[in-house]
Amino acid sequence: MAQKKAHEVDAWLARPTGATIVLFYGPDRGLVAERARAFAEKTGLPLDDPFSVVRLDGAEIEREQGRLLDEARTVPMFSERRLLWVRNAAGQKSLAEDVKALCAEPPRDAIVLIEAGDLKKGAALRTVVEASVGAMALPCYADEARGIDAIIDDEMQKAGMSLTLEARQALRRNLGGDRLASRGEIQKLVLYAQGQREIGLDDVKASIGDVSGLSFDDAVDAVLEGRIDTFDVVFTRQVLSGSQPFLVLAAAMRQFQALHLMRGAMEAGGRNAAAVVAGARPPVFFSRRKTVETALERWHTEALARALARLQDAVLQTRKRPDLSTAIARQALLGIAVESARLAQRNRT
């Protein structure tokens, strides 16, 4: 069976075998994205080169049956091989069929990397990959205590700082659930305590004691609704209050990932937005239901995929250039808000 247990994934990722098809899946979308990025870097291909790396969306493959097969069998012109990077995979039938064909006849000039959501046991895509000797299925679940400590240690080592025992215990209670969000919280703490060698309990309380997912809803909702002026005001206020721009990006990414899944349920089951939102798990807060319903009606699958790609790229850019993180986050979110306004205008005409 070509699969690893959750606790074995990091060890495999440190020394990946010769699998030509690699599937990362699970409910922790931040961890899926982080590990997929790490694997992509291990290929040695220049990830910013469009001739070496082809980025695809699960919905795009579903719509264009055979697209993944065509890309996998295309002979590369400017490199020895190419990376086919598929994001937002779920229960797409065409994707599972293409991957099955590639498992039966592995591509010679391509590596297929797939980021998927929480694929249950028996899901077509997961079953196909697990049954193939030339592929690898890697689960990504929310960080437990050991995983959270590893993230904390990693970020502390990068910053050249240490934590008191009380500070670590308090910090750990605020992390988990999403790998990217957890890293964002720690990076915010490091920024707050800049210049110190050791971070104490008071630093943790001051830095993240009042941070929650709902604290960024005003900014995210303004982006969803295309209220550009409102977003700019709210975003500026949050930055001035000390919030790290990355956290707004992470909140927006979680919302758009949820919308992508709900929109897929709408299209697959022929249900309306209100029904999908009412049955969402985790549930949508009552005060935000109308906003989410309107967004589902406005944002089609392709637009949601574009927004997610833009957010993921912005997150990576803020890591490379932390000195420009505010400008990078603002530009990405404003771009999405502008697209939302355009979609609303188009729906009215």
- State the Cα torsion 15-21-27-30 to the nearest 10°: 60
* CA 339/CA 259 separation, integer angstroms: 15
CATH number, span 214-347: 1.20.272.10
At 243, the pLDDT band (50, 70, 90 cuts) reads confident
At 196, the pLDDT band (50, 70, 90 cuts) reads very high
The tokens for 129 are 């990959």
Over range 11-34, report the average pLDDT: 88
* pLDDT attached to residue 173: 73
Asked whether 313 and 248 are in contact (CB, 8 A), the reply is: no
Radius of gyration of the chain (CA): 21
* pLDDT attached to residue 322: 83
User: Which tens digit of pLDDT belongs to each residue from 296-338?
Assistant: 999 998 999 999 999 989 988 888 888 899 999 999 999 999 9
Return all residues near 112 (Cβ < 8 A) that are at least 6 apart: 20, 21, 22, 68, 72, 84, 86, 99, 102
Count CB neighbours of 166 within 10 A: 12
* pLDDT attached to residue 289: 84
Asked whether 312 and 249 are in contact (CB, 8 A), the reply is: no
Over range 139-154, report the average pLDDT: 80
Asked whether 141 and 6 are in contact (CB, 8 A), the reply is: yes
Return all residues near 269 (Cβ < 8 A) that are at least 6 apart: none
Asked whether 100 and 128 are in contact (CB, 8 A), the reply is: yes
Domain boundaries for CATH 3.40.50.300 within the chain: 8-139
Over range 36-63, report the average pLDDT: 91
163 pLDDT higher than 50: yes
CATH number, span 144-207: 1.10.8
Percent of the chain with pLDDT over 90: 42
Report which DSSP code applies to 105.
S
The tokens for 271 are 């249900």
211 pLDDT higher than 50: no
CATH number, span 8-139: 3.40.50.300
* CA 115/CA 308 separation, integer angstroms: 13
Q: What is the pTM of this model?
A: 0.56
